[in-house]
A and B are shown apart, each in its own frame.
Chain A
């Protein structure tokens, strides 16, 4: 949340490719549209459970969505 996170993600890219809105993704993983927006912009790091759910929606492994620098 307030602290900047080093975790980056490809949610916007994957969501656009799937023609999915933030609200639709939020409905599928059980979070609000605002939370999806905060995750996409790197303002909020989701729980492991939500991260797995997001990866599952796009049918990719966790590291296909979220990356952490070495």
Chain B
């Protein structure tokens, strides 16, 4: 398994865990709260989730780089091609999510839901990017 593949698997696990927790809270108890409290709560949870992803991704990659130090800085043309292909597919999802958010804004939807659609599209695009990367590595392994 190459280093970018290990990295993609790690990022997928972190995103699913942290944003699984985020959406469980935000679409559950927080969505049912009244407007000012709800907006404060989801913003706070979003801040915690983003900080958690940043810290976990950084720490996990430092550990990966120490454990697999010989692979850590090695990238070749196949790695770059797989990265380009997975990023391109993720971009389609991200753009779709942004247009969905714009559509909600034009329809004057509650900004809480606009924010959730945008966060969901960001997370989904990142998870799909990592999943496609792993699949491409497996298919051409």
Residue numbers of A with Cβ under 8 A of B are: 1-2, 30-32, 34-35, 37-38, 43-44, 46-47, 50
Q: What 9 additional pairs, Cβ within 8 angstroms, besides A1-B85, A32-B71, A35-B76?
A: A1-B78, A1-B82, A2-B136, A32-B79, A34-B2, A35-B77, A35-B78, A43-B140, A47-B77
- State whether A44 touches B140 (Cβ < 8 A): yes
- Determine the chain B residues whose CB is within 8 A of the CB of A34 once the complex forms: 1-2, 78, 137, 141
> Is B81 in the interface zone, CB < 8 Å from A?
yes
- State whether A43 touches B76 (Cβ < 8 A): no
Q: Can you spell out 21 A-B residue pairs with CB atoms less than 8 angstroms apart? A: A1-B78, A1-B81, A1-B82, A1-B85, A1-B136, A2-B139, A2-B140, A31-B77, A31-B78, A32-B2, A32-B74, A32-B76, A32-B79, A34-B137, A35-B76, A35-B77, A35-B79, A37-B141, A38-B78, A43-B139, A43-B140
Q: Which of A1, A2, A31, A37 contacts B76 (CB 8 A)?
A: A31
Interface size on B, residues (CB 8 A): 16
CB-based nearest A residue for B3: A32
- Determine the chain A residues whose CB is within 8 A of the CB of B82 once the complex forms: 1
Residue numbers of B with Cβ under 8 A of A are: 1-2, 71, 74, 76-79, 81-82, 85, 136-137, 139-141
- State whether A1 touches B140 (Cβ < 8 A): yes
- State whether B76 touches A30 (Cβ < 8 A): yes
A-side binding surface: helix, strand, loop or mixed? loop
- State whether A32 touches B139 (Cβ < 8 A): no
- Determine the chain B residues whose CB is within 8 A of the CB of A43 once the complex forms: 139-141
CB-based nearest A residue for B1: A34
- Determine the chain A residues whose CB is within 8 A of the CB of B141 once the complex forms: 34, 37-38, 43
A44: min CB distance to chain B, Å? 5
- Determine the chain B residues whose CB is within 8 A of the CB of A50 once the complex forms: 77
B71: min CB distance to chain A, Å? 8
